[in-house]
Amino acid sequence: MRDDEIMPLDDWILDDHLDQLSEVDRGRLHALMRDDPEFAARHRRCQSVLEPLDAWTTAPPSAGMVEKILDAIAEEEDAAPVGRDPNFATGSGGYSGQPRFSLRDLIAVAAVIAFFFGVLGPSMTVVRERSRRARCAANLGEIGRGLAFYAQANSGALPLYAAGQGAIPTSFLPVSAGVSPPTATYAPNRRHLFLLVRFRLVRDPQVFACPSDGEPIIPPGRAAGALDDWVERGRCSYDSINASGPVPAFSYRSSQPYMADANPMFVGGRFHRIDPGVTNSRNHRRGAGQNVLFLDGSADWHTTPNVGLKGDNIWQAGSLMEYEGTETQQSADDTFLVP
């Protein structure tokens, strides 16, 4: 049996175990088991992995659960009968078909609307920005789930795309945590993250666009599966740990940052010494702060960049204030996020 045949056959074994095979495929599988001793042995190994799963049985619900549910529904029915809206009852005093508004009614409504716009307009801007921050954190959370999935399939390693490996990798790179890929030539940092799009490990590529900053990640008419990099550098709103240096492994126990809103030291992909007055990412309004994704998969809002291990500044390599293009993390505890 060739190696490249193993994966689909494993799927067959799992599908057979779950009674999800068609009759034809089941016949083919059982014929293989009969005729190919190597496959039969593999089948037994797979079954021995699945067999412990069946040990987890669960207790039934309590005897009164259904009655409790039905009581709750009955209470709800009494409070507001479903499907019957009393405002739409016909007959005397009910809905008569044609709405009637006087000019005075319309002016009053317009005045109330104008008042609310005047009073609430500025605060609505704040509310909108807060909403964008929340959606941005949700984006990073979704990326965190994709990273967990990638790491699970790569012995804990985080996405690493090695240039010179061929145009588009057809599978995850077999790179273990802390081990350099086969070539020493690294791709631009954000290209590593594109692997999550390329292999559909995130539900929607648009999660790489901060709602306060980003453009459409995949332009109309382009398919993510046919690409191996962002169409334009600026379309990914987030920066991640500099993959040219030591990169930690994914760990549900680590509180080290992995990714965040864009590093303000880089403008248009080029490094600029930071203005001492600007310390937070410029993705969000007035540089109020940034969302940060940590290696344990959690993502939240911080108003300071000093959220690395031991209060490390995530925009700097160690305490260096310059970047010549070769500086990376200065130690295992250091985090340096770059485009």
Partner 1 sequence: MVKTPTDEQLLADHLAGRPDAFELVVRRHSTELFRFVLRFTGNSVAAEDVVQETFLQVHQSAVSFDPQRRFKPWLFTIGANKARDWLRTRSRRSELPLDAQIDGDGEGGERSFRDLLMSDEADPGGDMEVEERRRIVRGAVEEVPLMLREVLVLAYYHRIPYKDVAEILHIPVGTVKSRLHAAVGYFAKVYRERTSESHGDPDAWASRDGDDSARGRGQ
Q: Return residues touching partner 1 (CB under 8 A).
A: 6-8, 10-12, 14-15, 18-22, 25, 42, 45-46, 48-53, 55-62, 65-66, 68-70, 72-73, 76, 82-83, 145, 148-149, 152-154, 170-172, 199-201, 203
User: CB of residue 94 vs partner 1: minimum separation in angstroms?
Assistant: 20
Burial of 129 (0-12, 13-18, 19+ CB in 10 A): middle
User: CB of residue 18 vs partner 1: minimum separation in angstroms?
Assistant: 6
Q: Residue 150 or 315: which CB sits closer to partner 1?
A: 150
CA–CA distance, 258 with 294 (Å, rounded to integer)? 5
Cβ count within 10 A of residue 66? 10
Q: Residue 227 or 274: which CB sits closer to partner 1?
A: 227
CA–CA distance, 82 with 86 (Å, rounded to integer)? 11
Among 204, 226, 202, 199, CA closest to 217: 204
* Residue 217 contacts residue 198 (beta carbons within 8 Å): no
CA–CA distance, 126 with 103 (Å, rounded to integer)? 35
User: CB of residue 226 vs partner 1: minimum separation in angstroms?
Assistant: 12
Q: Residue 25 or 322: which CB sits closer to partner 1?
A: 25
Q: Give me the DSSP letters along 126-192.
A: HHHHHHHHHHHHHHHHHHHHHHHHHHHHTTTPPP--BTTS-SS-SS-----TT---SSSPBPPHHHH
Q: Residue 149 or 301: which CB sits closer to partner 1?
A: 149
Contacts of 94 (CB under 8 A, 6+ apart): 87, 88
User: CB of residue 42 vs partner 1: minimum separation in angstroms?
Assistant: 7
Q: Residue 22 or 98: which CB sits closer to partner 1?
A: 22
User: CB of residue 294 vs partner 1: minimum separation in angstroms?
Assistant: 14
User: CB of residue 307 vs partner 1: minimum separation in angstroms?
Assistant: 19
CA–CA distance, 135 with 140 (Å, rounded to integer)? 9
User: CB of residue 60 vs partner 1: minimum separation in angstroms?
Assistant: 6
Q: Residue 52 or 325: which CB sits closer to partner 1?
A: 52
Q: Residue 291 or 329: which CB sits closer to partner 1?
A: 291
Contacts of 65 (CB under 8 A, 6+ apart): none
CA 169 vs CA 160, 229, 305: distances in Å:
11, 11, 34
